[in-house]
Amino acid sequence: AQKITQTQPGMFVQEKEAVTLDCTYDTSDPSYGLFWYKQPSSGEMIFLIYQGSYDQQNATEGRYSLNFQKARKSANLVISASQLGDSAMYFCAMRDPNAGNMLTFGGGTRLMVKP
Amino acid sequence: DGGITQSPKYLFRKEGQNVTLSCEQNLNHDAMYWYRQDPGQGLRLIYYSQIVNDFQKGDIAEGYSVSREKKESFPLTVTSAQKNPTAFYLCASSDLLAGAYNEQFFGPGTRLTVL
């Protein structure tokens, strides 16, 4: 069974600074995908970034980058130059390729950006 | 505009009643999903469907039922057998393309409250 762990229930970051949100995972399948989603207070889920288990390089998408350490089974999200609009819940998720592309989610981290 | 719509946004149910949550997508995605989110927690999969007229149980399917009669529609019925249905319900869809991210796109959610 797949498992995703996010150990930081809440974090503060000063505007314009970088912040790292932790995510560790557990799976016995050699082929998997890792996703990060942002959930503002409105409740919608916004896709941020994807990392495949066979990708050689860490994924980047604008101000978002993924620090993928396969041996440690971690996929931490790095947000550079934080903005007030980054305040939200952030979820790490893993795709199960053997179960219809379903996602297993971590418990989330609430990020609060201070002006 | 392509996307996923869910209705209603807010739903109130009396104990013992069945209610149906609507989910429609015009993204031409093959797969659709229903997730439940409890306050302060991550998302948990209820049901998913990869093709019309076929669907699979997720981690917490008890007390729920679905149908997939059309590619673009995947309604969820919360039955009276679901003992604690008050939650935020999110519908999602994705492609199932080999070699692609196949990220899930989410609807705006339905907040169900049992009175």
What does the pLDDT look like over A14-55, one tens digit per residue?
A: 999 999 999 999 998 888 999 999 999 999 999 999 999 999
Scanning every residue of chain B, which has its alpha carbon at the shortest distance from the alpha carbon of A5? B42
Scanning every residue of chain A, which has its alpha carbon at the shortest distance from the alpha carbon of B36? A105
Q: Are B33 and B48 in contact (CB under 8 A)?
A: yes
The pLDDT of residue A25: 96
In this prediction, residues B94-108 reach a mean pLDDT of 86
* Cβ of residue A50 closer than 8 Å to a chain B Cβ: yes
Q: Which residue has the tokens 């917490």?
A: B60
Say how many CB pairs under 8 Å bridge A and B.
Answer: 65
* Cβ of residue B11 closer than 8 Å to a chain A Cβ: no
In this prediction, residues A2-13 reach a mean pLDDT of 95
Whether B46 has a pLDDT exceeding 90, the answer reads yes
Scanning every residue of chain B, which has its alpha carbon at the shortest distance from the alpha carbon of A89? B40
Whether A92 has a pLDDT exceeding 90, the answer reads yes
Which ranges of chain A would DSSP assign to H, the alpha helix? Answer: none
Average pLDDT over chain A, rounded to whole? 94
Alpha-carbon distance of B81 to B99, in angstroms, equals 40
In this prediction, residues B34-51 reach a mean pLDDT of 94
Find which of B47, B101, B102 to mutate to test the A interface (most A CBs within 10 Å of its CB).
Answer: B101
